[in-house]
Structure 1
Amino acid sequence: MKNPSDPQAVERLARRRAGAKMGWYVHAVAYLLVNLLLVGLAASLGQRWAVFPLLGWGLGLLIHGAVVFLVAPGGNLYERLLAHERKALGAGDPW
């Protein structure tokens, strides 16, 4: 963000971050509901195939969460790396 004192820029960034986090929560709820249904269906048939979509989709959910909460701007990891790079370049941390 170029000018943190600009209220419109702050609002846009806040909305983008909140939207990304909300998207992950919707993804997590869909994952839980669908996989509960699949596990119930597989169990009623005496089969264990439901573990495959659980693991595959679970990996996708994990990666989605890592991007939203760790890597994307506003995530703790991103902010720490940014501060480290500023320091290494001699710019210091303006915040």
Structure 2
Amino acid sequence: MENINEYKYNKAVERVKCIKSFYTHLTIYFLVISALAYINYSTTSFVWVIFPAVGWGLGLISHGLRAFGQNLIFGKDWEERKIKELIESDKL
């Protein structure tokens, strides 16, 4: 029983770290894109800031989906099912 509680605790700690990391990533994104937008509008009429904003934004969206448990590729709780499957089949 203690192993299960320890496992759940470790998963919760990992999830909190991932969410914290996402918020840090989001803050840095807004600071850097804002600075780039200022530089862009101060120097040229071509709106090149959209390219890093969209590219980085896609990565940020992916990070957010992972942090909040929305895994589009493997589905909900895929990791948990795979761990149980491997433990039961003794393929470790």
Find the residue that maps to 2:39 and give its secondary structure: helix
Q: Distance in 2 between matches of 1:15 and 1:38?
A: 34
Flag structure 1 segments of 5+ consecutive residues without an equivalent: 83-95
Point out 4+ residue stretches in structure 1 off by more than 3 angstroms.
3-7
Cα RMSD after superposing both structures: 2.5
Could you tell me the TM-score, scaled by structure 2's length? 0.68
Matched, 1:19 2:17: yes
CA shift, 1:4, in A, is: 8.0
> Which structure has the higher relative contact order (CA within 8 Å, separation 6+)?
2
Query: Equivalent residues in 2 for 1:52-63 (5 A)?
Result: 52-63=51-62
Q: Distance in 1 between matches of 2:17 and 2:23?
A: 10
Q: Which position in structure 2 is the counterpart of 1:71?
A: 71
TM-score of the two chains, using structure 1 as the length reference: 0.66
1:4–1:10 CA contact under 8 A, matched in 2? no
Identity %: 28
The offset of 1:9, in angstroms, is: 2.0
SS in 1 for 2:13: helix
The one-letter code of the counterpart of 1:28 is: L
Structure 1 position 6, deviation (Å): 3.6
The C-alpha deviation readout for 1:35-69, integer Å capped at 9, x for no partner, is: 00000110111331111100110111111112222
